[in-house]
Structure 1
C-alpha cells in the first residue's frame, strides 16, 4: 500500500509540473503588454458622460485580446481582435463595427502607453491620412483612450475617453 501511495504522489507531482511547464506560445512578457486594458469597463467621454461599455478579455490561449464595445445608446457596436505579431514585433488591432467600418492598426507599447496607428493612405482630397489610437494605463487603474485622425500633420480628436472598471 505504501508503494501505491508513493507512486500516486509521484504521478500527481509529475502531472502538476507538466501542467506548469506547458508550451503556452502567448504567455510571454510581450503578449502581456496590453493586459492593462483587459476587464469590464464603463467608458466616459471628456465631459464625464457615459459613452458606452466595453468588455475586454484574453481568449485563444492568451493569444488574442478580444474587445466588445456597445455605445451608451446601444445603436453603435463593435469588436476588435488585438494580438502581438511575433513576425513583425508589433501589436495589431482589427476593428469591425455594425456600421460596416473597419480599422487595421499596428504599433508598440511605449512606457505606460499602447500606441497603434493605421498605415498612411490618401483621403478624398489626396492628403496623407492616418488614424492613431493611444491607450494609457493610469496609476489609478483607469485607462485613457485618445483616438486622433492625422491629415498632413493636422490632428483632429475623434474620441477622448476614460475606461473605469465595472465593480460587481
Structure 2
C-alpha cells in the first residue's frame, strides 16, 4: 500500500512539470519540423546560393533560422505556433535592415505564411507569401512571391531548393 501511495504522489507532483516540459509537443507544434536541419540551398539552375541552419529552441517551442547567403548576406527568423489562434508565425530580420512578419497555417508537408497587406514605395499594395514544401526526396522548396490585393501572383522573389548538408 505504501508503494502504491508513493507512486501516486510521485506521479501527481511530477505531472505539472511533465506537462510544462511538453507544452510544444503537439502535432500542430511539430508541423514545421520538416524544415529543421542544416541545409545547402540552391537556385533552380543548380547554383548554390547559401546555407541555412534551422534549429529548435526553448523546449521545441521556437524554430530558429540562420541564413548565410553566398554573397555575404545573413538573416534570422523565429518561427512559432500560436495555440491561441491556431496559426504559425514568422519574424524575419536580415543584415540589410529588412524585416518581414508572416502568419499562416500548416498543410500536409507544406507551410504557407503570408504578410499583412503592404504598401510599396510606388504606392502599390501587395502581400508577401512564402511557402515551404517538403518533397519526397526530403528536400524542401521555399518559394517567396508577392500577391496582389486580389491574391494573384505578381512576382516570384525567391525560389530555393534546400538539400540536407553533408
Q: TM-score normalised to the size of structure 1?
A: 0.84
**Structure 2: distance between partners of 1:22 and 1:72:** 43
1:120 to 108, 117, 122: 117
Quote the offset at 1:112 in angstroms. 1.7
Unaligned 5+ segments in structure 2 are none
1:30 to 18, 28, 31: 28
Closer/same/farther in 2, CA of residues 143 and 124 from structure 1, 3 Å limit: same
Whether the 8 Å CA contact 2:88–2:104 is kept in 1: the answer is: yes
1:129 to 123, 126, 150: 126
Aligned to 1:166: 165
1:67-124 CA-to-partner distances (Å, cap 9, x unmatched) read: 0000013x20000000001122100000000100000000001222100010012223
Aligned to 1:105: 102
Aligned to 1:150: 147
1:96 to 93, 101, 117: 93
1:49 is the counterpart of 2:47? yes
SS at match of 2:90: strand
Q: Where do residues 60-99 of structure 1 align in structure 2 (5 Å cutoff)? A: 60-73=58-71, 75-99=72-96
**Structure whose CA Rg is larger:** 1
Q: TM-score normalised to the size of structure 2?
A: 0.85
Aligned length: 153
